[in-house]
Amino acid sequence: MCSSTKGRGDESHQSAFLCPLSHLSKINKAASGFGIKAMVTQLQSSTQKDIIYPDSDGQPMADNTKQFNWIVAIKLGLELLFTNDSNIFVAGNLLWYPLEGNNKTRCAPDVMVIFGRPKGDRGSYQQWREDNIPPQVVFEILSPGNTVKEMIEKYKFYQRYGVDEYYLYNPDGGELTGLLRSSNELEAIEEMMGWISPRLGIRFELSECELVIYRPDGERFATYVELAQRAEQAEARAEQTEALLEQERQKAQALEAKLRELGINPEQL
């Protein structure tokens, strides 16, 4: 979910709040005789420091197993792609707060990639604590629960706060959409079949209406289950190779023992 503080109601609230602040100097002057000027200033600064940025917006990560599996697959594939680069941070369903002092303006992309920020655990992505670097690439996996209004809000959010590449995939309809920043706007990519992400270097394809993502080396993004199966197969092959080597060692030792029984030194052969 994305949300922000906008609207007339908020403006009137801000005006009502700013009015007494405009008279703060008069309050301080009147209060100075009672020695409470410092206290008023301290209360104002402590209020700014006490703003809480929640780690959760109360929304589920996914509405169904299909959406969840795609989020995990894309996040895992990107993490593996950049595993050797300590200065690229990949996150899934992490709340992004672009503005300091504002805990209402926030969004949690299904997957986001930030170049120039170190890997590591975070409760949320507070941009002002991250050298003010916004996520450059975001992914959204659609589900039946997503509304048109919600997706328009996300588009506006990503456009306003600096996303360079925005990809949306609908696994139910097999629809893939991409948007690329041009000046101050995110503009639709005309052809996504075979499209290569400028930032990520990955290639997008649709095979029988299902998204397929290829790494720069041509290897396909795999699911967690596929990666686990590959690891098990590799381990099985390694164990089989070790067993064959052990058999050959035993044969060599038996032959050496037989030759010695016959009075032949194997080392002189």
Domain boundaries, the chain: 2-49, 65-222, 225-268
pTM of the predicted structure, to 2 decimals: 0.71
| Lowest pLDDT segment from 82-86, 206-210, 246-250 | 246-250
Average pLDDT over residues 114-132: 98
Higher model confidence: residue 45 or residue 53?
A: 53
Q: Which two tokens stand for residue 125?
A: 């992505």
Give the model's pLDDT for residue 268: 77
Give the model's pLDDT for residue 40: 44
Q: Which two tokens stand for residue 266?
A: 């194997």
Q: How far apart (Å, rounded) are the C-alpha atoms in residues 48 and 17?
A: 14
Identify the bridge partners of residue 187 per DSSP, sorted by sequence position. 180
Give the model's pLDDT for residue 231: 60
On whether the CB atoms of residues 110 and 170 are closer than 8 A, the answer is: no
All residues at 6 or more sequence positions from 145 whose CB lies less than 8 Å from its CB, including other chains: 63
Instruction: Look at residue 233 and tell me whether its pLDDT is greater than 80.
Output: no
Higher model confidence: residue 46 or residue 249?
A: 249
Give the model's pLDDT for residue 15: 35
Banded model confidence at residue 255, pLDDT cuts 50, 70, 90: confident
Locate tokens 């996303």: which residue? Answer: 163
Residue type for position 232:
E
Q: Which two tokens stand for residue 225?
A: 């289950």
Instruction: Look at residue 10 and tell me whether its pLDDT is greater than 50.
Output: no
Give the model's pLDDT for residue 139: 98
Average pLDDT over residues 222-242: 69
Q: How far apart (Å, rounded) are the C-alpha atoms in residues 64 and 143?
A: 8
Write the DSSP symbol of residue 220: B
All residues at 6 or more sequence positions from 250 whose CB lies less than 8 Å from its CB, including other chains: none
Q: How far apart (Å, rounded) are the C-alpha atoms in residues 162 and 135?
A: 7
Banded model confidence at residue 149, pLDDT cuts 50, 70, 90: very high
Residues 207-214: contacts with CB within 8 Å, 24+ apart?
209/173, 209/174, 210/171, 210/174, 211/70, 211/169, 211/171, 211/174, 211/176, 213/74, 213/77
Residue-averaged pLDDT of the chain: 83
Give the model's pLDDT for residue 265: 85
Give the model's pLDDT for residue 14: 37
Instruction: Look at residue 20 and tell me whether its pLDDT is greater than 60.
Output: no
Q: How far apart (Å, rounded) are the C-alpha atoms in residues 31 and 222?
A: 67
Residue type for position 71:
I
CATH topology of domain 65-222: tt1808, chain A (3.90.1570)
Instruction: Look at residue 222 and tell me whether its pLDDT is greater than 90.
Output: no
